[in-house]
Chain A
């Protein structure tokens, strides 16, 4: 039994905690995704100015109450249904496109260290590159 303090409006229910402990992270993830899917479809309907009835009509559903079930956050959608809904609403609910990320580009750059004996010979940009690599000391010779 919770100790209830009337001055404190924050409340942690042991009974709720006990129920939540029976929901695995994977199961909560499934619930979260169903709820997000419902929210996304609902947002798309609103954006189009459609009601559930309009979506039912576009998809030739026998009963508009099926759309209400979809939007309730409890529904386990089939692939076919999601494909149909996203097509009709012009949104993306599935992302099955094969996008292979290119491998990271490894570039080995070797910066030559110019011996000081050659500094009089190398001028301008070449000298600058060499001096940035730490191979040279002193000021460049003007061309």
Chain B
């Protein structure tokens, strides 16, 4: 996991995930995939993530919660602009820590009906499980000021 410096601030830290398969963070891949078709939506998302990091924190209502299949997996989606439906899936650990993944356009009723979205949500559910296990066994910790993740940030797929 990596902390995105350009979005994180005094109110929240915004993380993303880099895997061995790609040198790009999940958020970067999301941007590269959709910046041509959804440029304004991406601007809206980045502006809001910057607000989250620097002004308000990750208030729960900024996200569509309970997107994952487990009740406590904390997988959610940053609210999309009405009528555009570009979903960015995240793990909202707290009001101070958000881990941003990937996503895509949601033109179906449920993400399970779209293979691309299903892949993205399943990916976040997988990493959410690893993170929650690490937090339980203390190999991953939340800093005293609640803003950072400390310990073993290397998530093996």
In whole angstroms, how far apart are the Cα atoms of A12 and B139 in the complex? 25
- Tier of interface size on chain A: 20 to 34
Inter-chain CA distance A36–B59, complex, in Å, is 10
Contact with A along B23-46 (1 / 0, CB 8 A): 111011001100100000011101
Interface contact A20-B50, CB-CB below 8 Å? yes
User: Are A42 and B61 within 8 A (Cβ)?
Assistant: yes
How far apart are the CA atoms of A10 and B153 in the complex, in Å?
11
Please name all residues of chain A whose beta carbon is closer than 8 Å to the beta carbon of B81 when the two chains form the complex. 74
User: Once A and B bind, how many residue pairs between them come within 8 Å at the CB atom?
Assistant: 111
- Is A11 a contact of B55 with CB atoms below 8 Å? no
Q: Is B16 close to A, CB under 8 A?
A: yes
Residue A106, interface by CB 8 Å: no
Q: What separation, in Å, do the CA atoms of A9 and B6 have in the docked complex?
A: 13
Q: B142 an interface residue at 8 Å Cβ cutoff?
A: no
The B-contacting residues of A in range 1-44, CB under 8 angstroms, are 1-2, 4, 6, 9-13, 15-17, 19-20, 22-23, 27-28, 31-32, 35-36, 38-39, 42
Q: With A2-B24, A38-B61 in contact, do A11 and B3 touch (Cβ < 8 Å)?
A: yes
CB of A116 closer than 8 Å to a CB of B: no
> Which residue from chain B places its CB closest to the CB of A43 in the assembled complex?
B59
A13 and B59 contacting across the interface, CB-CB below 8 Å: no
Q: Does B51 contact A (CB under 8 A)?
A: yes
**B82: Cβ under 8 A from any A Cβ:** yes
Q: A11-B2, A35-B59, A74-B81 are in contact. List 4 more A-B contacts (CB 8 A).
A: A20-B47, A32-B55, A74-B44, A74-B48
**Which residues of A come within 8 Å of B, CB atoms?**
1-2, 4, 6, 9-13, 15-17, 19-20, 22-23, 27-28, 31-32, 35-36, 38-39, 42, 68-69, 71-74
Q: Can you give 30 contacting A-B residue pairs, CB < 8 Å?
A: A1-B23, A9-B1, A9-B153, A11-B25, A12-B4, A12-B5, A13-B4, A13-B28, A13-B31, A15-B28, A16-B4, A16-B27, A16-B46, A19-B31, A19-B43, A23-B43, A23-B47, A31-B44, A35-B52, A35-B55, A38-B59, A39-B59, A42-B59, A42-B61, A68-B61, A72-B79, A73-B48, A73-B56, A73-B61, A74-B44
